[in-house]
Structure 1
Amino acid sequence: MTVNRDAITSAWETHCNEGWPTFASPNQGQLMTLDTVISGCVVFFLDSSEGLDHQRVEILKDCLADLEAVTSELETEHQHYFIRLHHLGELLLATTVSA
């Protein structure tokens, strides 16, 4: 899968334009943390000409696995935001050689 910076920029802009969903979940704190960490990786990637380093790649992989598990526990109507966040993380991983 070939992903370029424009695809990530577009996905990031779409994600930023959507507000945090209103819902109650015992996992809300974890979801906020995952959103923050994945978003930080995206911002780092977009601000860097070198891409993600190995440490960020590993963190991103862990976050995506955690996000997948927690998202499946949400009601369907609240999953869209987190599915989009997961897709954004996958796009980011696709830019790395070692992913």
Structure 2
Amino acid sequence: MNRETITDLWEAHKEETWPQLPSEHEGPLMTLDTVIGGCVVYYLDSSDGLDEQRRGIIGDCLLDLESLEPDLDEESRPYFRRLRELGTLLLIAAPG
């Protein structure tokens, strides 16, 4: 796994349209998408990788995403699986 893998997955994620979601889950899922996306951008713009605080935030986001995923319909699941993959890759990425 390397920076190019994260870059490619991030580019694919940005190209996707926001899925249709039940209203009770849209806000929390939008927040998770924004936070993980922000950490991806930070990682790609930084030569140092993610600091421990951001890694902790990603871990919390992944737990939240996992708890919400069973409520998603089949059409929206690929979007959030890719988001989960991005978060997971950030956690295992070596600094720099």
TM-score, normalisation: structure 2: 0.93
For this pair of structures, how many residues does the alignment match? Answer: 95
In the alignment, structure 1 residue 43 sits paired with structure 2 residue 41: yes
RMSD (Å), alpha carbons: 1.2
Query: Which amino acid in the other structure matches residue 43 of structure 2?
Result: F
Q: Please identify which structure carries the higher helix content.
A: 2
CA contact (8 A) 1:45 1:51 kept: yes
Partner of residue 53, structure 2: 55
Seq. identity, %? 54
Partner of residue 17, structure 2: 19
TM-score, normalisation: structure 1: 0.90
Secondary structure (helix, strand or coil) at the match of 1:26 reads helix
Unaligned runs of 5+ in 2: none
Unaligned runs of 5+ in 1: none
Runs of 4+ in structure 1 displaced over 6 angstroms?
none
